[in-house]
Amino acid sequence: MRTLRMKGKGIIEVVEQPEPVPGPGEVVVETAFSALCGSELHGYRGEGSQQGNSGHEAVGTVVATGKGVSDLKIGTRVGASAIAGCGKCSYCARRQYTWCPDYRFYGSMHAERFLVAASACYPLPDDVPWEPGVLITGDGLGVPYHTSAKISSPCIKTVAVFGVGPVGLGNVLMQAHLGRRVIAIDIVPGRLEAATQLGATDVVNASDCDPVEQVRMLTAGSGADVCIEAAGRPETALACFDAVRTAGTVVFNGEQGAFPLSPSDQFIRRDITAVGAWFYHFSEIDQMLGLYRDGLRVTDLISHRFPFTEAATAFELFSSGQSSKVLLDYT
C-alpha cells in the first residue's frame, strides 16, 4: 500500500510500504479522507516524522480486525481518534482518553490504510458523510468543541480569537454558533475573510493596528469576556491577557513553550482565569454529532481538497498559511 513519508525540511514523498497488521484490540482502516493539522507543520518544516507520518485525523472503512475485537465489524464506516486509552482506568470508563495516564497515540493516517485502536473508532451514522465525519471525529471540530465545553458560562457574550488558522477558525465557527459575538484577529487577510464567513462579527488585522486596543475599543473599553490563544506565539498569548476583561478567561489552544508571564499583573490583580484545552474527549463526539445535525456548518471549515498523491502540494499550501482545513482524498 502507499503511505506518505515526511522527510523533513518540507519534503514529502508517497512511498510503498507493507500492509499494516492489526494487533490485539486493533483494526486496519482503509482511508477515505485524512485531514492536515497545524500540529504537523513542526515536523513538516523541521526534522520530519521518524515513524511514518504525522497524520492523525482520518475516516474510512474497517478492513481487518485484530484479536479480541468483537464490536467492530469489517465494512463499518468509522472516524478514527488518534488517542486511545488503556481501557482500564476511570478516565477511560468515561471515554476521556486524553486524560488516561497510559494513553497511546496512533499516527501514520496519511496512508491508504492505517492501524488504530478499535476502542478509538467511532462508527459513523449513515447521515454523516466522510467530510463532516473527518472534522467531527478529528481535532478539526474536536479542539474547538472541547474548548467551548470549558467556557460554557452564559455570562460570556464576547469572545476574541487570536490567530485564525484551522483551530482558530473552528473556534470562530463554534462560538458564533453558540450565539456569541466573535472578534477574529490575524495578520493574513484571507484568514480574516474566512473568519467573517464562519460567523465572526468583527475582524482585526493585527499588522495594521494594535489588536489589544482594537478589542478594547470594540468592547467599550472593558475587554473581551474570553480571549482564545490559537496562534501558539508568546506575543499573542500576552495580548490575550491584555485584551481580556477583568475577571475574564484566557484559553490556551496553540501549543508553545515557555515565555515570561507575571502572575501578579496578568492573573491575580485582575482575577483572570487561564484555561488549557487539549484535543477532545472521545465521549464528546456524540455532542458534536448533535451540533452537526442541528445545522453547525462544519464542512465550511474545509478550504481545499487534494488527491492523496498530491500531498506534497497540499502541505505546501497548508504551510503557507493561505488555507483553512485541507483534506487528502483517497476515494
Q: Which parts of this chain interact with Zn ion (CB under 5 A)? A: 37, 39, 85-86, 89, 92, 100, 139
Choice between 116 and 243, CB closer to Zn ion: 116
* Nearest-angstrom CA–CA distance, 271 and 289: 35
Q: Which residues pair with 277 in a beta bridge?
A: none
Q: How many CA atoms lie within 13 A of 16 on its CB side?
A: 0
* Residues 6 or more apart whose Cβ sits within 8 Å of residue 126: none
CB of 139 to Zn ion, least distance (A): 4
* Inter-residue contact 321 to 191 (CB < 8 Å): yes
Residue with cell 507520518: 53
Min CB(201)–Zn ion separation in Å: 27
| Shortest separation between residue 83's beta carbon and Zn ion, angstroms | 10
Kindly state the cell numbers that stand for 206.
493585527
Write the CA distances from 56 to 6, 31, 68, 178, integer angstroms.
14, 12, 24, 27
> Closest approach of Cβ 212 to Zn ion, in Å?
28
Of 137 and 219, CB closest to Zn ion: 137
The nearer residue to Zn ion, 31 or 214, going by C-beta atoms, is 31
In the bound complex, what is the minimum distance in angstroms from residue 288's beta carbon to Zn ion?
A: 15
Residue 82 or 226 having the CB closest to Zn ion: 82
Task: Look up cell 456524540; give the residue.
Answer: 286
CA distance 319 to 323: 9
DSSP state of 46: T
β-pair partners for 80: 58, 121
User: DSSP states of 249-287 as a string?
Assistant: EEEE-S--------IIIIIGGGT-EEEE--S--GGGHHH
Of the two residues 60 and 85, which places its CB atom closer to Zn ion in the complex?
Answer: 85
d(C-alpha 240, C-alpha 248), whole Å:
10
User: Smallest gap, in angstroms, from Cβ of residue 166 to Zn ion?
Assistant: 9
Q: Which is nearer to Zn ion, 39 or 61 (CB)?
A: 39
